[in-house]
Structure 1
Amino acid sequence: MNKNKFLDDALEHVRQAEKGMKTSLLKWRPDYEVAADEYSKAATCYRNAKSFEQSKDCLMKAAECHKQNRSLFHAARSVEQAILVCKELGDMREVQHLADRACNMYQTHGSPDAGASVLEKAAKILEANYPEIALQLYQRAADVVLLEDSSSQATEYINKIGRLMVRLQMYDQAADALRREIGLQQQLERYNATGRLIVALVLVQLARGDVVAAEKAFKEWGNCCEAPEVQTLESLLQAYDDEDAEAAQHALNSPFIKHMDIEYAKLARTLPLPQGEIAIPKTTSVRENAAPSYVSPHSVTSATIESDGGAIASGSSGDNAQQPASDNEDEEGGLC
């Protein structure tokens, strides 16, 4: 079916929708159900014809008709479809607004899980190019499901929140999110799932430059880690404690860390390594930046080496020693 056929069908559905919205002496109230259905069909035809602006417009009109008909679930579903059309248009500014609107409708209807789901879909659309907005959507999704005591779903959203915060270098907030996720996993008695989270928390604390907080996290939750996780963390923390950059690099290059979520694997590659200070002995007899002293092979023992002033004094004594001989010569000459 060619594009023109889709457009003709769309226009016909729009005409039928507008007809359903009209009132008369015998029809006091618009037929919102018929109009919503026709607008939805028109939106589909426009989308098939790649006329995305008209498709979005029809979906929003269908949502309004559903809302007037007190069918909030279907209204929210129409707005959710409009989000996907915005993606086709590349209009990311509307995605967050529409996601919030659809979520509100789902919550009012009594379907919070559907509301959290639409927030997640919108966040995934924005995550690559607009991570800050995606972070806000994930945070709201987590709050929505937590209101319904859905801890299992909340842990998934909080996990995404933590990874996005690491990507945005929001390390303080990322540490809080990881602690929150560890707490939820322990409530669900998923002790095996907390091991990697503890490794991630240690990495984030090291990225904050707080080695003490990293050690505290390991001491607090280290009993939930498995053997490879414990071995990796012990080696890493010991290297930072000893200020051994080589050992720290070796621990960060372990296969276990490299196979973590990509955000934490990248974080491990960019962590500042410990810098141990090298003690340089200071001597008062050697001038700073001086070349090594040269010792003559013909020199006598150190006991006979005098200072420059002493050498000059020796030279003076030698001259005086020769003086009496000259006096004797003068005296001999005088006798003559």
Structure 2
Amino acid sequence: MSSKIEEAQEHIRQAEKCLKTSLLKWRPDFDNAAEEYNKAATCFRNAKSLDQCRDCLMKSSDCHRQNRALFHAAKCLDQAILICKEMNNLGDIRKLAERSCNLYQQHGSPESGATVLDKAAKILEQTHPEDALQLYKQAVDVVTIEDSTRQGAEYASKVARIMVKLGMYDQAADAIRREIGLHQQVGSEGAIGRLAVALVLVQLARGDYVAAEKAFKEWGNCCDAAEVQTLESLLQAYDDEDPELAQRALSSPFIRHMDVEYARLARDLPLPKGVSIAPKANVIENAAASYVSPNSGAAGDLSLPFSNTRTLHLSLWRWRSTHQAAAKPSGPGAGNDDDEGGLC
């Protein structure tokens, strides 16, 4: 290992010598300096000295740029991205990828620039999804300028999926529409149908049922028969606030086999709450006369006074009969007095 490091240091001394100027050498020899730095980077990499390897690649890139060899300058930055990945130094990858893409574009190779952005975004997607999202956005812009529609649709799909993963549903809906537009240019109706399903799910996640129904009406003609049936059931469930029907629609096979981000979105989608119906009051059968049903109206309220009045009259009649019998005179002439009274 020490021999490789000594060899690398010797290449660095030669590179620095090439960059010096003198009375007879007015311009630095950037070409040979870049070559020496590149050889030094290879030696440092073999010696597992990754920090020095990355620094030499950066210096080699700068020498190529000074020499107007933009393609080789971008290539050195591309290699530096891989070294940063091995070092687990992911913070510098986005900056290096953007610089490399810019150099590729200046050289006239935008496809290579988009490839660098894509490669760097894949490295960052799991741990730094926000940086990966920005790189994919730049890749879409680069390839669409060059009329590479199919490649642009692929990068736009990655943009939409990362936005769904991050919960950026408003931006995800716009990204899906842009992806649909790119697929329209190449006439890929099957892909448009799948994206229509994804757009409906994203709109429902936003809580905008009207936008979801509008998306289905606009792009539903590109869906398969099974997809159309499932989307109709799903939208009907949200319209009727039927959680069971919505759950059955979201559990359909083709939704569960969509891209991971959309399948998780369907799994975590809030279901409609449904309409709650108040339970009816129970009526007691063979209830007593004084019982009043909770569901009875004014007629039930009048039955209680009527029953009490009848009982009062009956009690008064019995009381009067008892007192009249007690007040009758006793003796032989009592019956005559009663007869004389007659019916008066």
TM-score range, shorter chain: 0.7 to 0.9
Query: Do residues 136 (structure 1) and 134 (structure 2) align?
Result: yes
Match of 2:341 in 1: none
Distance 1:273 1:261 in 2: 21
- The number of aligned residues is 326
Match of 2:148 in 1: 150
Match of 1:118 in 2: 116
The TM-score with structure 1 as length reference comes to: 0.87
Superposition pairs of residues 31-70 of structure 1, within 5 angstroms: 31-70=29-68
| CA deviation after TM superposition for structure 1 residue 323, in Å | 2.2
Structure 1, 209-218 or 36-45: larger mean CA deviation: 209-218
Query: What amino acid is aligned across from residue 79 of structure 1 in structure 2?
Result: L
Query: What amino acid is aligned across from residue 177 of structure 2 in structure 1?
Result: R
Deviations 1:302-322 (A, max 9, x none): 999985555544443343223
Query: What amino acid is aligned across from residue 69 of structure 2 in structure 1?
Result: S
Aligned counterpart in structure 2 of residue 212 of structure 1, from 200, 210, 213: 210
Query: What amino acid is aligned across from residue 244 of structure 2 in structure 1?
Result: E
The answer on whether the counterparts of 2:54 and 2:83 sit within 8 Å (CA) in structure 1 is yes
Distance 1:212 1:301 in 2: 52
**Higher gyration radius (CA):** 2
Query: What amino acid is aligned across from residue 74 of structure 1 in structure 2?
Result: H
SS at match of 1:240: helix
Match of 1:323 in 2: 319
Superposition pairs of residues 95-114 of structure 1, within 5 angstroms: 95-114=93-112
4+ residue runs of structure 1 moved beyond 6 angstroms? 297-306, 333-336
Residue identity over aligned pairs, in percent, reads: 58
The TM-score with structure 2 as length reference comes to: 0.85
Distance 1:314 1:226 in 2: 77
Q: Gaps spanning 5+ residues in structure 1: where?
A: 287-291
Query: What amino acid is aligned across from residue 317 of structure 1 in structure 2?
Result: H
Query: What amino acid is aligned across from residue 318 of structure 2 in structure 1?
Result: Q
| CA deviation after TM superposition for structure 1 residue 281, in Å | 7.0
SS at match of 1:50: coil
RMSD, aligned CA? 2.8
| CA deviation after TM superposition for structure 1 residue 36, in Å | 0.7
Q: 1:4 to 1:312 in 2, by over 3 A?
A: same
Structure 1, 309-318 or 176-185: larger mean CA deviation: 309-318
Query: What amino acid is aligned across from residue 140 of structure 1 in structure 2?
Result: Q
| CA deviation after TM superposition for structure 1 residue 205, in Å | 1.4
Query: Do residues 13 (structure 1) and 19 (structure 2) align?
Result: no
The answer on whether the counterparts of 2:290 and 2:304 sit within 8 Å (CA) in structure 1 is no
| CA deviation after TM superposition for structure 1 residue 301, in Å | 12
Distance 2:300 2:274 in 1: 44
SS at match of 1:274: coil
Q: 1:127 to 1:326 in 2, by over 3 A?
A: same
The answer on whether the counterparts of 2:12 and 2:40 sit within 8 Å (CA) in structure 1 is yes
Match of 1:75 in 2: 73
Query: What amino acid is aligned across from residue 138 of structure 1 in structure 2?
Result: Y
Match of 1:289 in 2: none
Q: Gaps spanning 5+ residues in structure 2: where?
A: 293-298, 335-344
Q: 1:301 to 1:8 in 2, by over 3 A?
A: closer
Match of 2:159 in 1: 161
SS at match of 1:212: helix
Deviations 1:270-312 (A, max 9, x none): 1122232134377xxx6xxxxx454457769999998555554
